[in-house]
A and B are shown apart, each in its own frame.
Chain A
């Protein structure tokens, strides 16, 4: 494969950009299945695929282009209402997307590209042709690509029934004849230059010519439709898109004149969407004729250029004028008349060679009311840059340092005020400075955090496809509802979340939802629903995966737990429903009767839980037997900085994550008691187990003191009280990893990291899930 001959950086860009498109494609295709009539969606899918194909052909990924093209032609037929996509089409399209994904992996691994399943390609191509009144030639370049790029002559396989509104000539003709009589000659003498091209691009030139001619045919059909009021908006949209593609292709090859013409056409299309612009048709045709001429030249390795500046100027001028509503044909006709053969000859005046005459320049100045989405998108793209994640990480670390220093400055300022140091003025200034620093730092911290935030849609987007495939595999009917995908969380959290969520969804499909027959028998709708929702809740994001299946069977869970020796019957008897449910999170537990490739290896829920806890999140189950089960995941927005309550234990200071604290109480004597020699505390109508922090942190007996405060911690629905000596206050702490060896060897210690206090000293951060483990292990073992 010649792929490795390319600049790896270029290839990487392709993988990143097209990879994103591919993800989106997957998602859109599944949506399309539920809404096959959504033209906008179809267009979006088509565009995405086309872009991937374009870049791939540039990189000479022939196998990829081959598949993409087949899928594209199928989509195009659907787009043109030749047929409505059905399930089997979706299977084909998804198979094609899968192949492309596989090929992406191949590129990453540096292997030769997987060859596409010819059957799929053939079927897709056939679909593309199917009843193809409009685009019978779609499969032609496909053949060209498949064999050799050099095979220019696109074998127009199907005979072409002339489309009613379109006098499209055969694509095999190198030059498209354009109706309207406009001829490029009228613009002035053509200049021919020999074509100098990078060898890697030269190979693709023939492909390009085919593509351009094909596009022109389509353009011509759309331009014809512009005149009819009913078909105008659709035609304009299609025109814009075609011109856009043409522009991109031309830019690839750095054919400036061609891309300028294409941009002109785009401009025209944008205008045409909102206004009737019959007079614009001739200049459009002239532009197309020019493009056709250039394409013809290219096939002979020649660059043909005509003085088009002034033509483009009148071209855009016509648009601007016709953009004013209720325009009588008279003024609009005159600029367009210039573009007509008779007058166009006068156009190439030397006056307008200024760069400002370029269509882009005009487009920017033209504040017409057309705020089309394309424009918007283009703007948005310009204002986005890709930044290496490492740089953001570094930035975040620096902000962390700054927060620590800020804390110290604030402490100093407090000290100055408290000790009445310096003059009154000095103290005031110190206060101001530290206050200002505080504000700026928090803003900066937030801003930097935001740069790392990504919407959950990034992972949610993959699930419709997953569920679709699972449903088919399991023979179940599943309706997936996704809500709140726009909720943003830190990038590192997103990365950790992907796998656990997939696992949970699989579990819901496999274990949670019943078969259609069972559901009907239970009086439920045959279609099971999985609801995946996300929402912001304070400094946290809550993710719920709710199914309306059979729920957890705690009896079976207890049996399994006893069989596997995880618990004794006596222990089980003492456990609440909630505790029984949580057994599924234990390592090595799985009730699945048969191990399917969907779920049931018994590693799942354990891994899910530990992954979630890794990002300092919690996971919880809400079980409603017979009616369904909800998994509730709470994760912090970021993993680098958190709010903590600083507490004193003897002479030491620990940071307790604020998110785990329910309340802090100072229990009275009569609230304290003990059950089975374990201390407990009565709090209103509940009884909480109590843990002595000094014991937990193995503080030497000599340093222990009174611990009058109970910090009530919650993990999921469970609660314990942690007895501490002092309450110091709430603080934003920057989480620092403990030394790797230390945290491994110190696995027994319930600390998850460390942070630097405002006095520069180090405080350890309490690992709440670990603390609960210890609390539960003790009374039961």
Chain B
């Protein structure tokens, strides 16, 4: 849908190792990535329906071709200051634990292929995000990429339940 403007890059020059295909997106100053296989689609922002008394990071629900799915504000999930939604904002729809949900990001950058060799385990303190959610850090020549562990991020919504 809205993915036409997404670049498809092979950013990695090193040989060998397993190839990882990632969708990268920005949240504030940092750049994150998720496994492309988990991503169902990327949509432009659409109108959300608020669900009363739902956990705070749940922005609301959307109609995804007849299926009602919850949409989570990733900024709120990470405890960042909520930003105003812009033209660049996107909803990334993923399937985690056979549950379909969307999350809002500031911008979607590109589809990236890297070798697993350049991914290192997450250091204890790398960014504003709880290291539990980080699967690893991709060391690109010019920048760092934070690989998110979606299944932990939305793990049965333990955090959501606690928040409620």
- Residues in B with CB closer than 8 Å to A400 are 66
Name the distance in Å between B67's Cβ and chain A's nearest Cβ.
7
B49 near A742 (CB under 8 angstroms)? no
Task: Verify if B7 is at the interface (C-beta below 8 Å from A).
Answer: no
Report the Cα distance A740→B101, complex, angstroms: 11
Report Cα–Cα, A744/B160, bound state, in Å. 10
Using known A-B contacts A736-B68, A762-B63, determine if residue A745 contacts B164 with beta carbons closer than 8 Å. Answer: yes
Contact A738 B51 (CB under 8 A): yes
Q: Which of B37-77 contact A (CB under 8 A)?
A: 47, 49-55, 58, 60-63, 66-70
Which residue of A is nearest B162, CB measured? A745
Distance in angstroms between the alpha carbons of A307 and B52 in the assembled complex: 81
In the complex, are the beta carbons of A746 and B66 less than 8 A apart? no
Contact between A738 and B68, CB atoms less than 8 A apart: yes
CB-CB < 8 A to B164: which residues of A?
Answer: 745-746, 748
Q: How far is the CA of A746 from the CA of B47 in the complex (A)?
A: 20
Give a binary string over A367-404; 1 marks a CB under 8 Å from any B CB, 0 the rest: 00000000000000000000000000000000011001
Is B157 located at the chain interface by the 8 A CB criterion?
A: yes
Beyond A738-B61, A762-B60, A764-B51, list 6 extra A-B contacts (CB 8 Å): A741-B161, A742-B51, A746-B58, A751-B52, A764-B52, A764-B61
Q: Which of B47, B53, B99, B160 has a CB less than 8 Å from the CB of A748?
A: B53
**Residue A626 is within 8 A (CB to CB) of chain B in the complex:** no
CA distance A298 to B82 in the complex (A): 85
The answer to whether residues A741 and B157 also contact, given A736-B66, A754-B68, A762-B68 and a CB cut-off of 8 A, is: yes
Judge whether B49 and A763 touch: CB under 8 Å.
Answer: yes
With contacts A737-B68, A754-B68 taken as known, whether A742 is within 8 angstroms of B63 at the C-beta atoms is no
Contact at B52–A739, with CB atoms within 8 Å? no
Fill in one digit per residue for B13-34: 1 if any A CB lies within 8 Å of its CB, else 0: 0000000000000000000000
From 396 to 448 in chain A, residues with beta carbon under 8 angstroms from any chain B beta carbon are: 400-401, 404
List the B side residues contacting A738 at CB < 8 Å: 51, 61, 68, 70
Question: Once the chains are docked, how many angstroms separate the CA of A6 from the CA of B154?
Answer: 46
- Establish whether residues B156 and A741, one from each chain, have CB atoms under 8 Å apart when the complex forms: yes
For the complex, give the distance between the alpha carbons of A324 and B155 in Å.
79
Expressed in whole angstroms, the Cα–Cα distance for A404 and B99 within the complex equals 23
Q: In whole angstroms, what is the CA distance A749 to B61 when docked?
A: 14
Report B-chain residues with C-beta under 8 Å of the C-beta of A761.
Answer: 47, 49, 63
Is the pair B52, A742 in contact by a Cβ cutoff of 8 Å? no
Interchain residue pairs with CB less than 8 A apart (13): A696-B52, A698-B53, A738-B68, A739-B69, A741-B70, A744-B161, A745-B163, A746-B58, A754-B61, A760-B63, A762-B49, A762-B62, A764-B49
Q: Decide: A742 and B66 in contact? CB cutoff 8 A.
A: no
- Asked if A739 contacts B63 (CB within 8 A), the reply is no
With contacts A742-B54, A745-B54 known, is A756 near B66, CB below 8 A?
Answer: yes
- Asked if B70 and A404 make an inter-chain contact with CB atoms under 8 angstroms apart, the answer reads no
Distance, CA A761 to CA B61, complexed state (A): 9
Q: How far is the CB of B137 from chain A (nearest CB, A)?
A: 29
Contacting residues of chain B (58-111) with chain A, CB-CB under 8 angstroms: 58, 60-63, 66-70, 99, 101
Residues of A within 8 A of B62 (CB): 762
Tell me, rounded to whole Å, the shortest Cβ–Cβ distance linking B15 to chain A.
Answer: 42
Which B residue's beta carbon lies closest to that of A651? B50
How many chain B residues sit at the interface, stated as a range, is: 20 to 34
* CB-CB nearest in chain A for B54: A746
Write out the residue numbers on chain B whose beta carbons fall within 8 Å of the beta carbon of A756: 63, 66, 68
A741 contacts B99, CB within 8 Å?
A: yes
Contact of A746 among B49, B51, B69, B156 (CB under 8 A): B51
Interface residues on A, range: 20 to 34
Contact with B70, one of A697, A699, A739, A750 (Cβ below 8 angstroms): A739
Contact in complex: A749, B54 (CB < 8 Å): yes
Binary contact readout A737-781 vs B (1 if CB under 8 angstroms, 0 otherwise): 111111011101111001010001111100000000000000000
Q: In the complex, what residues of A have CB within 8 A of residue B161's CB?
A: 741, 744-745
Question: Which one of A696, A739, A745, A748 contacts B61 once the chains associate, using CB atoms below 8 Å?
Answer: A739
Whether, in the assembled complex, A483 has its beta carbon less than 8 Å from a beta carbon of chain B, the answer is no
Chain A nearest CB, measured from B139 CB (Å): 35
A652 within 8 A of B: yes
A749 engages B52 (CB within 8 Å): yes
Report yes or no: B53 in contact with A746, Cβ–Cβ below 8 A.
yes
Instruction: Determine the residue in chain B with the shortest Cβ distance to A736.
Output: B68
Q: Are A739 and B156 in contact (CB under 8 A)?
A: no
A745 surroundings in chain B (CB, below 8 A): 54-55, 157, 160-161, 163-164
* A699 to B52 CA separation, bound complex (whole angstroms): 8
Of the listed residues A696, A746, A754, A761, the one surrounded by the most CB atoms of chain B closer than 10 A to its CB is A746
List B contacts of A760 (CB < 8 A). 63
Determine the distance from Cα of A756 to Cα of B64 in the docked complex, in whole angstroms.
Answer: 10
Q: How far is the CA of A509 from the CA of B99 in the complex (A)?
A: 45
* Set of chain A residues within 8 Å of B67, measured between Cβ atoms: 736
Q: Are A742 and B58 in contact (CB under 8 A)?
A: yes
Q: Is the CB of A746 within 8 A of B52?
A: yes
Which 4 A-B residue pairings sit nearest by Cβ, starting from the closest? A749-B53, A697-B52, A762-B49, A748-B53
Most buried by A among B50, B55, B67: B50
- What is the CA–CA distance of A749 and B99 in the complex, to the nearest angstrom? 21
Cα–Cα, bound, A746→B51 (Å)? 8
In the complex, what residues of A have CB within 8 A of residue B70's CB? 738-739, 741-742
Closest to B50 in A: A652
Q: Are A750 and B52 neighbours in the complex by a CB distance under 8 Å?
A: yes
Chain A residues contacting B68 (CB-CB under 8 Å) are: 736-739, 754, 756, 762
User: Which of B54, B62, B156, B161 has the largest count of A CB atoms less than 10 A from its CB?
Assistant: B54
User: Which residues of chain A are near B101, meaning CB under 8 Å?
Assistant: 739
Interface positions of A from 686 to 703, Cβ below 8 Å from B: 696-699
| A395–chain B nearest beta-carbon distance, Å | 14
Q: Which residue of B lies closest to A754 (CB)?
A: B68
Q: Is the CB of B58 within 8 A of A652?
A: no
B77 to chain A, nearest CB (A): 14
Minimal beta-carbon separation of A742 from chain B (angstroms): 5
Distance in Å: Cβ of B96 to nearest Cβ of chain A: 11
In the complex, per-residue mask of B98-130: 1 if CB is within 8 Å of any chain A CB, else 0:
010100000000000000000000000000000
